[in-house]
Amino acid sequence: MAGCCGHEARFDGVSAVYRRRLWMVIAINATMFGVEMVAGQAAQSQALKADALDFLGDALTYGLSLAVIGMSMRVRATAALFKGLSLMAMGLWVLGTTVYRVFYLGVPEAGIMGSIGFLALAANVASVLLLMAYKDGDANVRSVWLCSRNDAIGNVAVMVAALAVWGAGSGWPDLIVAGLMASLFVNSAQQIIRQALDERHHADGLVRSAPH
């Protein structure tokens, strides 16, 4: 369905089924944050810790997504903008800590990285399947999809890093993967921010054109 001024109307999250699925995804992300943070510390893996923080950020921002469902387009777009900026900050933090680790390089435990990476991948594939039908929603809904997709990609990358660490006996693959994940966070944040700003602009235009 098309909206006025050529602005395409997108799914805004107002659905009992979507809400239930979002609650399930929040529970999955909160659980995996705890699991991966403990494992990342035990394995001394920067990639695992980066992925754990992504799980935490997702759980918190998904809660925000739930809170603004049914509100005005401007409120939903503002929430998405906040999530985009938060994801950008997370990506820059991971990138910074990865650069820091370059100068204090140790070899992570590849076995822990691989096993936890596989568990996290299973959790994120489940999340992606739950949310796939809603990937083309408004900025608020789309940000949820992008975060879940990033998690699945990140988990595959962690498993590849674990194999490379084991084969090379070096911590460099772990740091490279953490850096790539940070770049993915930043790219997704840019997509969310652009769409959120466009929707805020559209909402402001509707307010100005409304009869008084």
CA angle 115, 50, 12 (to 5 degrees): 105
As given in the structure block, the two tokens for residue 122 are 């299973």
Q: What percent of the chain has pLDDT over 70?
A: 80
pLDDT score for 108: 62
For the whole model, what pTM was predicted? 0.64
Q: How far apart, in whole angstroms, are the C-alpha atoms of residue 199 and residue 76?
A: 9
Question: Would you say residue 27 has pLDDT above 90?
Answer: yes
Strand partners, 8: 2
Q: Which of 14-23, 34-43, 96-105, 124-133 has the lowest mean pLDDT?
A: 96-105
pLDDT (tens digit per residue) in 164-207: 767 777 667 767 777 777 777 787 778 778 878 887 888 777 66
As given in the structure block, the two tokens for residue 15 are 């659905």
> How many Cβ atoms sit within 10 Å of the Cβ of residue 45?
32
As given in the structure block, the two tokens for residue 194 are 């652009």
Count of residues making up the chain:
212
The residue that leads in pLDDT, 46 or 70, is 70
The residue that leads in pLDDT, 123 or 70, is 123
* Mean pLDDT, all residues of the chain: 76
Q: How far apart, in whole angstroms, are the C-alpha atoms of residue 182 and residue 95?
A: 6
SS3 48: helix
Confidence of residue 150 (pLDDT cuts 50, 70, 90): confident
Q: How far apart, in whole angstroms, are the C-alpha atoms of residue 81 and residue 1?
A: 24
pLDDT score for 24: 92
pLDDT score for 11: 74
